[in-house]
């Protein structure tokens, strides 16, 4: 991997943290979402398009060699987490 600038490195770390939090919280949201008002349910589901596009941003950083080795490893962990939780998001979108 190329030497990563501090600004990019910080941005990647922030994106990874944000996405790990979101995908880890998905199963809890699935159990609670029926108690939310309809507007909050719709907003929550609609926000996922933007979150998913952030994964593309991270993959672009990786492709350009702008991630550290540890960040690249975290991205792979994130991709595994997404794969494990994709069905939850699909169910929420279908409801």
pLDDT in tens, the chain (95 residues): 445 568 999 999 999 999 999 999 999 999 999 999 999 999 999 999 999 999 999 999 999 999 999 999 999 999 999 999 999 999 999 98
Q: Kindly state whether residue 87 falls inside one of the protein's structural domains.
A: yes
How open is the CA angle 54-10-69, to the nearest 5 degrees? 85
Rounded Cα distance, 48 and 71, in Å? 22
Q: Is there a domain that residue 42 lies in?
A: yes
- Cβ-proximal residues to 75 (8 Å cutoff; 6+ apart), any chain: 16, 58, 59, 62, 67
Give the domain extent around 27. Answer: 6-94
Token code pair at residue 47? 């926000």
Residue 1 lies in a domain: no
Q: How many domains is the chain built from? A: 1
Look at residue 95 in the predicted model and tell me its pLDDT.
Answer: 84
């Amino acid at each position: 991997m190329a030497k990563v600038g501090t600004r990019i490195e910080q941005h990647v770390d922030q994106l990874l943290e944000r996405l790990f939090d979101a995908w880890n919280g998905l199963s809890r949201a699935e159990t609670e979402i029926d108690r939310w008002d309809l507007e909050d349910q719709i907003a929550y589901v609609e926000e996922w398009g933007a979150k998913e596009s952030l994964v593309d941003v991270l993959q672009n950083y990786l492709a350009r060699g702008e991630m550290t080795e540890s960040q690249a490893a975290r991205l792979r962990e994130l991709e595994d987490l997404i794969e494990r939780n994709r069905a939850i998001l699909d169910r929420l979108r279908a409801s």
